[in-house]
Amino acid sequence: MQTKKNNVMVAPSILSADFGRMNEEVERMDKCGADVVHCDVMDGIFVPNITFGFKMIADIKKKTKLPLDVHLMIDCPERYVERFIDAGADWLTIHYEATDILIPTLEKIKKRGVKCGAVISPDTPVQVLRECFPICDIVLLMSVYPGFGGQKFIEKSLGRMSELKKLRVETGSGALLEVDGGITADNAEAIVRAGADVLVAGNTLFSAQDPAAVINGFHAL
């Protein structure tokens, strides 16, 4: 495992993994120095894609000691947060756009001893999170449109991350700022400089010839 040099955390997104070899893929990222495993749950309703559900989370949980960062891209996530917690989620993030009861759902997650987080898509104003920021352990900024892996980083996300960083200070929150979508070795430094604490990367890591070197490079930022 590579030595982590600072506070930047790296979260490989298993959306880009070989689903037929998921245990080996997760183990490979663990050995390469990953900090958490990012699991994108999609329902085909909130986003136009379907991935996996409770059983995949439970099966991965049995095979790794890394925290599972479960990102619910699903409609009305309040219906399922308890089941994802029971399946093994250590971090559980839900979309602002997907629910009318964001704060009560975050509070429900937190009461179960799981890190809770709010997510915003690229066209959602950052300021909508002001009220829930103090509750959150994580705030996740989508830097691509949710639903598919392999998209290009949306450049305006840098300014949005800076806004989130400022909002964190204004609200007195200690939330981690996470970025998901299009992160590469070329843009990671700018993303961290804008305020990101956690980098979610899919294709960049799973298709890399030496993912350990990429992770070590992110840790060194």
Residue 93, domain member (yes or no): yes
pLDDT digits (tens, 9 = 90+) for 32-88: 999 999 999 999 999 999 999 999 999 999 999 999 999 999 999 999 999 999 999
With respect to residue 1, please indicate whether it lies within any of the assigned structural domains: no
Question: Which domain CATH number covers 95?
Answer: 3.20.20.70
Task: Please name the residue that has the structure tokens 């099966």.
Answer: 59
Q: What is the mean pLDDT of the chain?
A: 95
Please indicate whether residue 46 or residue 148 has the higher confidence score (pLDDT): 46
Q: In what order do the strands lie in the sheet with 37-42?
A: 9-12, 198-201, 176-180, 138-142, 115-120, 91-95, 68-73, 37-42
- If you average pLDDT over residues 177-188, what whole number do you get? 96
Report if residue 29 sits inside a domain: yes
What's the pLDDT at 214? 97
The number of folded domains in the chain is 1
For the segment 119-141, the average pLDDT, to the nearest whole number, is: 97
Residues belonging to the active site: 40, 180
Tokens for 76, please give them.
């009305």
Q: Name the residue range of residue 17's domain.
A: 9-219
